[in-house]
Structure 1
Amino acid sequence: MARVSQEHLDARRRQILDGAARLFARNGFHATSMQDVLKEVDLSAGAVYRYFSGKDELIAAIVKEVLGEIRASFEDAARQSPPPPPDLLVGAVLGRTLRVYSALDDDGGSVFPPLVIQVWAETVRNKELASVLEDVYTTLRESWVRAVEAYQDAGMMPADIPADHVARTMIATVQGFIAQQALFGPAPLEVLQDGLRALTSMPSARPATEGSQLG
């Protein structure tokens, strides 16, 4: 019997993951059965179970892949010294990640935003995946802190604001944009980039006194 090549095995595993990702993004993890996955990828149960013992293992593989892609994208972009401005840095990271999953959507969009929402929800009940998410978040924070410190050293950002505060805010901004896309439909990445560019170019205007009020 002819030996199956590693390339073939990898391609088959990729086929299963892509099909499951489409279903999970569309219907959610728990509304999708393994039978649904078999139908989506047009493979026998034996072919699929050769790679994944069940739905939980399939979910874990996709969650780790999604979170790993986010981390790798950011780490690659943040290696420049100093990093590109925040709008360009976020655009490079999010743009690369969206492109990875855009081919999975029959409508030409990206399954990434709804898939991320499903991942966030899944980590609430799954301690193993919650640990993976926490690890990725910690890595992102550390990477963003280094980027902000580089901005501050280059005089691109005020040095009196804790770098960790900026890091958390930038992560929250990206998370919010992903949530908007998942809930309200696709939006050009330029929307986020333009908004970040406008916000980061504003001069500081702190109140003169503690009791000052707007208006």
Structure 2
Amino acid sequence: MGAMARVSQAHLDARRRQILDGAAVCFARNGFHATSMQDVLREVDLSAGAVYRYFSGKEELIGAIVEEVLGQVHEGFEEAARSSPPPPPDRLVVSVLGRVLATKESLTVDGRPAFPRLVVQVWTETLRNDELAAVLREGYGVVREAWTRIVGAYQDAGVMRSDVAPEYVARTMMAAAMGFLAQQALFGPAPAEVLGEGLRALMSMRDEADTR
């Protein structure tokens, strides 16, 4: 009996994954608003009963997708924050962003990665959906808090100037990652290393007027 329960749990997890991935592709393709549950059912090739067993509708689907991605991002930063001092920003962004992109690699729309498009569609829906906005605000708040702690560790280790508020650096690093995803959605895929190399070059500049 125990073995059967384990098999069915694995089956349930795989089914849930199948539904979430199919919904992500649909939302990436046409946006949240223009996608119906019928579209999702067609994409995953399951009956309504099978899908509604897991999710009550589009709201729950998009909530689950967003929470999963934010959770992965948060895990990546928490891992980094535990090493002392944490890896520098260029390496940190590449490892976290690369990790999330890698888990979503199999999801495509018209042969192109679906994930960056999905992110932009989620942002769009956030502007009109207060519940989703609250989920996103909380998730970004957690990420910003992790970055702020990491910046504090850089400053304590003497590897980053200490006259800038850690939260400003946190917001800037998040803006770099968010902007990079937006670029991919608009202009096509690029590896996370592009962002890492660009950040590394920016980090190498010296301000001649700066005597600190």
So what's the TM-score if we normalise by structure 2? Answer: 0.90
* Partners of 2:65 and 2:76 in 1: CA distance: 16
Q: Which moved more, 1:194-203 or 1:158-167?
A: 158-167
Unaligned runs of 5+ in 1: 209-215
Which residue does 2:43 correspond to in 1?
40
Q: What 5-or-longer segments of structure 2 have no aligned partner? A: none
Aligned residues: 207
1:131 aligns with 2:117: no
Deviations 1:89-129 (A, max 9, x none): 00000000001111122777532211111111122222221
Bigger fraction of residues in helix = 2
Q: Does the CA contact (< 8 Å) of 1:19 and 1:40 recur in 2?
A: yes
1:193 shift after superposition: 0.8
Q: State the distance in 2 between where 1:202 and 1:161 align.
A: 16
Percent of aligned pairs with the same residue?
67
In 2: Cα distance, 1:169 partner to 1:89 partner: 14
Q: Return the match for 1:164 from 155, 163, 167.
A: 167
Corresponding residue for 2:103?
100
Q: 1:145 deviation in Å?
A: 1.2
Deviation at 1:69, TM superposition (A): 2.1
Contact 2:25 2:109 in 1 (8 A): no
Larger Rg: 1
For the 8 Å contact 2:23–2:40, the answer to whether it is kept is yes
Is 1:174 paired with 2:177? yes
TM-score w.r.t. structure 1 length? Answer: 0.89
**Residues 183 and 191 of structure 1: is their aligned pair in 2 closer, same or farther, counting only changes over 3 Å?**
same
**Larger relative CO (CA 8 A, sep 6+): 1 or 2?**
2
Kept in 2, the 8 Å contact 1:73–1:93? The answer is yes
Q: What is the distance in 1 between the residues matched to 2:199 and 2:71? A: 24
Does the CA contact (< 8 Å) of 2:116 and 2:182 recur in 1?
yes
Does the CA contact (< 8 Å) of 2:25 and 2:114 recur in 1?
yes
